[in-house]
């Protein structure tokens, strides 16, 4: 098969039969070939993987190849010829698009699991108290830890919802970490939480950061947005001014809504003020009304769902079924490891399927394939990046992960989408590629020093906790 040919998908029975044969017959990759694949910078051929493309026009393959050159997916199919490419053995692997997070307070990653069991040590007061003691470097350490875990876990794109910006130096420290990591990111400049409600974003600072880091000089992997308090905290007129500013710069805006049961979730008011649409990402929207969910579907306004943190904080049960019934675009979210503990998008996908089935109620409420789409192309659409990432489509950027199928929690081989949603864990991720650059190989990070990152994180939280103990 030539590079320009894309084979059509195959039937389920043929897929399973072929995939099982691959799992049984696979042999180890020669050492020199593996070394070449690790080191080559421009051209790769992932050979013999079970390919889940998340693109109906491309289809899936029980034993397929993916040709990558200069950061771009060139071809997806069977028996691709690419004589100059470094070969990555895909036997006993599922090849799929990288997972996409759509909302993550990454600076908080150093405070993992610190939300306590009573009101004074709960997430919200604890996060505000910690944040005031952080330096720009502390913020950077949180982002670096989050990115290391994201790459380890097969998350190739993160949405850094940055809301501990005491000064622009905090934002710059976080953006610098994104540039060094190699992972794809949307950095959304937010507020400083201690300033409270009825406070406009620092628009002049945001404009300056956008001009310095992104206006015609981006790296192509990190993009920019605005994270606003939104109508939960600010007058709708103030929200409209922030939206006009964002649209003037041509950048997307994101805000939290609908997090308090029985209270106004503001979707109707936002719609009346012209504050909804594909360029506005709403976080949670857990407690909206039937009318509001209809509005979200009609305006094509995406929603970012984080079922574990939404339940953990008492926001309620993520209304998966209602969102789907109204054609609301859905992306998935880590939110904060202060509450959810770890960055496991596989577990989040499983939760979304189980929540929908429970709400149906039916074992057949939603398919694993549909949930997998939420974690990949759905996230790309929510971030406005679907033309670049989210599926294994020739011409898109090469954000690809390989998930091992020969681990004890995955065997024996079954339908790949079900294996990913129902069985896979971060530890099963063997290889992570972003923009054609290998960030994890043979289960090990290649661009970040995990041990140093963990030591730095421990130093930050240890120092800040010692300061808190003195107050």
* Residue with the larger pLDDT of the pair 218 and 455: 455
1 has pLDDT over 60: no
75-127 pLDDT per residue, tens: 999 999 999 999 999 999 999 999 999 999 999 999 999 887 877 778 887 78
Taking the C-alpha atoms of residue 24 and residue 418, their distance in angstroms, rounded to an integer, is 19
**Residue pLDDT, tens place only, 333-346:** 999 999 999 999 99
Kindly state the percentage of the chain with pLDDT values over 90.
79
Domain ranges of the chain: 12-97+392-445, 99-382
pLDDT score of 19 more than 80? no
Least confident window among 14-28, 102-116, 131-145, 268-282: 14-28
What b/e string do you get for 275-300 counting C-beta neighbours within 10 Å, with b at 16 or more?
bbbebbbbbbbbbbeeebbbbbbebe
Decide: 328 and 303 in contact? Cβ < 8 Å: yes
Please tell me the CATH code under which domain 12-97+392-445 is placed: 2.30.40.10
What is the pLDDT confidence band of residue 218, given thresholds at 50, 70 and 90? Answer: low
Average pLDDT over residues 132-142: 96
List Cβ neighbours of 181 (8 Å cut-off, separation of 6 or more). Answer: 144, 147, 148, 151, 439, 447, 448
Peptide bond into 444 cis (omega under 30): no
Q: Is the pLDDT of residue 300 over 70?
A: yes
pLDDT at 250: 94
**Level-2 CATH architecture, domain 99-382:** Alpha-Beta Barrel (3.20)
CB 200 within 8 A of CB 242: yes
Residue 68 reports pLDDT greater than 50: yes
| Under 8 Å between Cβ of 466 and 456 | no
Give the separation between CA 407 and CA 55, rounded to whole angstroms: 27
pLDDT value for 21: 36
Q: pLDDT above 70 covers what percent of the chain? A: 90
Distance CA 31, CA 87 (A): 12
Q: Contact at 8 Å (CB) between 254 and 226?
A: yes
- Rounded mean pLDDT of 29-37? 35
Host H or E run for residue 400:
strand 400-404
How many angstroms separate the Cα of 279 from the Cα of each of 224, 303, 382?
A: 12, 11, 8
Output the average pLDDT for the chain: 89
Which of the 8 DSSP states describes residue 377? I
Question: For residue 469, what pLDDT band results from cuts at 50, 70 and 90?
Answer: confident
Tell me the C-alpha distance between 179 and 173, whole Å: 10
Report the DSSP beta bridge partners of residue 94.
50, 403
């Amino acid at each position: 098969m030539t590079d320009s040919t894309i084979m059509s998908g195959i039937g389920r029975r043929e897929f399973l039969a072929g995939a099982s044969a691959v799992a049984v017959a696979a042999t180890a990759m020669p050492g020199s070939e593996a070394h070449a694949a690790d080191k080559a910078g421009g051209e790769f051929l992932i050979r013999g993987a079970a390919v889940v493309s998340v693109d109906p026009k491309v289809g899936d393959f029980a034993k397929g190849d993916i040709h990558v050159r200069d950061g771009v997916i060139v071809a997806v199919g069977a028996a691709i010829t690419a004589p100059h490419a470094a070969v990555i053995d895909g036997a006993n692997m599922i090849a799929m698009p990288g997972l996409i997070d759509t909302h993550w307070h990454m600076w908080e990653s150093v405070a993992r699991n610190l939300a306590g069991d009573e009101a004074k040590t709960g997430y919200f007061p604890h996060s505000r108290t910690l944040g005031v003691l952080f330096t720009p470097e502390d913020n950077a350490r949180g982002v670096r830890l989050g990115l290391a875990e994201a790459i380890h876990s097969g998350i190739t794109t993160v949405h850094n919802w940055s809301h501990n910006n005491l000064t622009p130096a905090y934002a710059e420290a976080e953006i610098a970490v994104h540039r060094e990591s190699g992972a794809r990111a949307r950095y959304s400049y937010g507020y400083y939480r201690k300033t409270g409600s009825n406070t406009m974003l620092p628009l002049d600072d945001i404009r300056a950061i956008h001009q310095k880091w992104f206006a015609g000089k981006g790296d192509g992997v990190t993009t920019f947005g605005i994270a606003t308090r939104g109508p939960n905290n600010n007058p709708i007129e103030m929200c409209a001014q922030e939206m006009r500013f964002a649209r003037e710069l041509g950048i997307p805006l994101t805000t939290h809504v609908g997090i308090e049961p029985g209270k106004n979730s503001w979707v109707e008011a936002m719609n009346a003020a012209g504050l909804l649409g594909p360029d506005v990402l709403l976080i949670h929207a857990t407690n909206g009304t039937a009318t509001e969910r209809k509005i979200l579907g009609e305006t094509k306004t995406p929603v970012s769902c984080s079922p574990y943190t939404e339940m953990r904080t008492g926001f309620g049960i993520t209304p998966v079924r209602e969102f789907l019934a109204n054609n609301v675009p859905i992306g998935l979210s880590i939110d904060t490891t202060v509450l959810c503990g770890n960055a496991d998008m596989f577990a989040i996908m499983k939760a979304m399927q189980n929540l929908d089935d429970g709400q149906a109620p039916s074992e057949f409420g939603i398919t694993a394939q549909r949930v997998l789409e939420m974690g990949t192309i759905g996230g790309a659409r929510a971030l406005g990046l679907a033309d670049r990432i989210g599926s294994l489509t020739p011409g898109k950027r090469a954000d690809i992960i390989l998930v091992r199928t020969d681990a004890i929690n995955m065997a024996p081989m079954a339908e790949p989408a079900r294996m990913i949603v129902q069985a896979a864990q971060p530890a099963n991720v063997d290889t992570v590629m972003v923009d054609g650059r290998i960030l994890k190989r043979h289960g090990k990070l290649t661009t970040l020093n995990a041990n140093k990152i963990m030591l730095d994180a421990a130093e930050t939280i240890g120092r800040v906790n010692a300061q808190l103990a003195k107050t």
